[in-house]
């Protein structure tokens, strides 16, 4: 299998889906130039400006146009450039795209993908570094996925394009240049099916997106037999796999890049405790960012990250409890 970057894996996956299905197209800012991370490079030359559409700088317009196109039978891939910019189009996403199937009794379907490159990226600062997955998981009607490997970036994009419900892909900016082996002919991923990234018997560590390689590195250096579960999709999420692992280890750590307060890690912890009962776990902990804007200065940015060192320390702390 070739080793591809996250960006190249998604570029090839999108191209394959566009060749397979003529109703698939993409719209967003600067797509004709290849996109901000190169994830659309060369596609305008192959598919033309009617299927790789560079739009004006208006997120509300981009999101609304994608919905309208989906309602008349196409499968748009909506590029938000950076997840923070989605805030300018939240009404179209939350009140329209997520609700249209329910509001019209299934007569209208928003068969579309919203790509949101999010999270910290060096010196991007407070308005370009947010992790919004907890907001979006909270919205009924949306499927939410968060790939942590190049393979999953490609497989989840294929699954999202073929899905008959709106899918939000939380693609981590910090992973665009990360490389991994990619089976290009692999079938689309299955939403709600986690990946056991590392097997272990002492602590269950649940994570997703950019935190996946961080947690894998931390587990190796922790000296603890930690089982690392990469959720891959956040709604639906693989509750059964997490509960089964936590029931065996009786220790649970959830790690994510987003702010800890109100983060999706709280949902994971709550559901495991509900399923296993008050005595089912000997130790449980969440590790994420503090409730603070992401700083611009690199030294301060590092201070709010869940680094491999902090994660390894948390693994050892939970294991010792």
Per residue in 7-32, pLDDT (tens digit) is 999 999 999 999 999 999 999 999 99
pLDDT at 129: 87
- Pair (60, 145) in one structural domain: yes
Give the integer Cα–Cα distance in Å for 288 and 265.
9
**Cβ neighbour number for residue 131 with a 10 Å cutoff:** 27
The predicted model gives 34-39 an average pLDDT of 94
Statement to judge: residues 128 and 18 lie in one domain: yes
Query: Domain with 48 in it: what CATH number?
Result: 3.40.50.970
The pLDDT, as a whole number, for residue 197 is: 97
Name the domain boundary from 155, 181, 207.
181
Please tell me the predicted confidence (pLDDT) of residue 233: 97
- pLDDT of 320 strictly over 90: yes
7 & 60 share domain: yes
Residue 5: predicted pLDDT: 97
> Which residues are annotated as catalytic?
128
> Domain end: 151, 181, 211, which one?
181
Residue linked to tokens 């030359």: 45
Q: What range does the domain containing 50 cover?
A: 3-181
**pLDDT tier at 96, thresholds 50, 70, 90:** very high
Q: Are strands 179-181 and 167-172 parallel, antiparallel or unpaired?
A: unpaired
Our count of domains for the chain comes to: 2
* Residues 94, 10 share a domain: yes
What is the predicted pLDDT for the residue at 122? 82
Task: Report the C-alpha gap between 204 and 315 in whole angstroms.
Answer: 9
Do the Cβ atoms of 148 and 133 come closer than 8 Å? no
Q: Are strands 143-145 and 233-235 parallel, antiparallel or unpaired?
A: antiparallel
State the Cα–Cα distance between residues 159 and 116, nearest whole angstrom.
16
Per-residue pLDDT, 134: 95
C-alpha to C-alpha distances, 14 to 11, 25, 27, 70, nearest whole angstrom = 5, 9, 12, 17
Altogether, the residues listed in the chain come to a count of: 321
Nearest alpha carbon to residue 218 among 237, 234, 236, 198: 198
Is residue 226 within 8 Å of residue 200, measured between CB atoms? yes
2, two tokens = 């070739």
The answer to the question of residue 187 being in a domain is: no
Question: pLDDT tens, 107-158?
Answer: 999 999 999 999 988 888 888 889 999 999 999 999 999 999 999 999 999 9
Strand partners, 116: 170
Q: Which of 308, 312, 240 is nearest to 276 (CA)?
A: 240
Residue 186 maps to a domain: no
Write the CB contacts of 27 (distance below 8 Å, at least 6 apart in sequence): 53, 55, 62, 65, 66, 76, 77, 78, 79
pLDDT the model gives residue 266: 98
51-78: pLDDT as tens digits: 999 999 999 999 999 999 999 999 999 9
Using a pLDDT cut of 90, give the percent of the chain over it: 95
Q: What is the rounded average pLDDT of the residues 295-315?
A: 93
Q: What is the pLDDT of residues 216-267, one digit of tens each?
A: 999 999 999 999 999 999 999 999 999 999 999 999 999 999 999 999 999 9
Q: Give the up-direction half-sphere exposure of residue 268: CA atoms within 13 A in the CB hemisphere.
A: 35
Mark whether 157 and 199 lie in a shared domain. Answer: no
**Same domain for 200 and 174:** no
Instruction: Give CB contacts under 8 A, 24+ apart, made by 271-276.
Output: 271/239, 271/242, 271/243, 272/242, 272/243, 272/246, 275/239, 275/243, 276/243, 276/246, 276/247
CATH number at residue 226: 3.40.50.920
- Rounded to an integer, what distance in angstroms lies between the CA atom of residue 268 and that of residue 278? 15
Model confidence over 178-224: pLDDT tens digits? 999 999 999 999 999 999 999 999 999 999 999 999 999 999 999 99
Judge whether 235 and 266 are in contact, CB under 8 Å: no
190 falls within a domain: no
312 within 8 A of 221, measured Cβ to Cβ: yes
């Amino acid at each position: 299998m070739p080793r591809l970057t996250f960006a190249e894996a998604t570029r090839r996956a999108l191209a394959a889906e566009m060749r397979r299905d003529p109703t698939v197209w993409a719209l967003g800012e600067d797509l004709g130039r290849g996109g901000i991370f190169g994830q659309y490079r060369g596609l305008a030359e192959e598919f033309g400006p009617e299927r790789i559409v560079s739009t004006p700088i208006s997120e509300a317009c981009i999101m609304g146009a994608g919905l309208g196109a989906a309602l008349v039978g196409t499968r748009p891939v909506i590029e938000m450039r950076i997840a923070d910019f989605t805030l300018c189009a939240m009404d179209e996403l939350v009140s329209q795209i997520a609700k249209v199937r329910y509001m019209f009794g299934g007569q209208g379907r928003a068969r579309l993908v919203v790509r949101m490159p999010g999270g910290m990226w060096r010196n991007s600062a407070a308005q370009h570094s947010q992790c919004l997955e907890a907001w979006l998981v909270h919205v009924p009607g949306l499927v939410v996925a968060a790939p942590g490997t190049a393979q999953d970036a490609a497989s989840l994009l294929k699954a999202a394009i073929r899905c008959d419900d709106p899918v939000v892909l939380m693609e981590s900016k910090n992973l665009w240049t990360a490389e991994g082996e990619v089976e290009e002919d692999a079938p689309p991923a299955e939403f709600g099916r986690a990946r056991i990234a590392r097997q272990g018997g002492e602590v269950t560590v649940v994570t997703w997106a950019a935190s996946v390689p961080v947690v894998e590195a931390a587990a190796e250096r922790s000296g603890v037999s930690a089982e690392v579960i990469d959720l891959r999709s956040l709604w639906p999420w693989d509750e059964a796999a997490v509960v089964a692992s936590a029931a065996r280890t009786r220790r649970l750590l959830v790690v994510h890049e987003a702010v800890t307060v109100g983060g999706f890690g709280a949902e994971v912890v709550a559901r495991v405790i509900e399923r296993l009962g008050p005595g089912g776990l000997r130790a449980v902990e969440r590790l994420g960012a503090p409730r603070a804007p992401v700083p611009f200065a690199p030294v301060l940015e590092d201070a709010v990250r869940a680094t491999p060192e902090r994660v390894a320390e948390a693994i050892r702390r939970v294991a010792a409890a």
